[in-house]
Amino acid sequence: MSTITMSDTRVSLHELAEFVWREAEILDRCEYDAWLALWTTDGRYVVPMAPGEDYEDQLNICFDDAKMRKLRIERFQQGFSISSAPPANTVRTVSRFVLHSATEEEIILRCAEHVIENKFGRQRVYAANLTYTLVRVDGALRIRHKVARLLNSDGELTAFSYLF
């Protein structure tokens, strides 16, 4: 198993996968405060609609900084979002972990995700390619950036009451 060095701390691909699996479980359980705690204060959560990397100059489904992530979670928790009343039940499967790059400051990890949504007695399946930029904060992995490239983000996606 490959191991890289980041700020004099060794991290394995298995540790990275466990971090992402834990995030998936947190989201499936709707433990949104725990999800917010996984992020750095400068983190960005992006669900783009189009190809490209210039997220600031393109239309996105989500382009959330810390304030917007917190507001999104508040809407989910308080039922103010029409898409979250009632909330969907989800099951996430995350796989195909690939270490894209690593420096002493950050790790870029890519993986695949399937989300099964159950709402109003109907199931939908979404697939996404995820890219994480991870850093260590006080010895723990944290998300600096997460990009979820949905395979069906070109108009087929309806309102969703969960996070990818």
Average pLDDT over residues 139-156: 85
* Residue among 43, 8, 48, 27 at smallest CA distance from 132: 43
Q: Compute the distance between CA of residue 65 and CA of residue 98 in angstroms, rounded to an integer.
A: 25
State how far the Cα of 135 lies from the Cα of 108, in Å rounded to an integer: 9
Domains of the chain in start order, with CATH, are 3-150 (3.10.450.50)
73-131 pLDDT, tens per residue?
888 888 655 555 677 889 999 999 999 999 989 999 999 999 998 988 889 899 999 99
CA atoms lying within 13 Å on the CB side of residue 97: 17
List the single range of 43-47, 49-53, 123-127, 142-146 with lowest mean pLDDT. Answer: 49-53
pTM (2 decimals)?
0.88
By percentage, how much of the chain surpasses pLDDT 70?
84
Which range has the worst mean pLDDT, 48-57, 94-103, 119-128, 134-143? Answer: 48-57
Tell me, what's the pLDDT at 101?
92
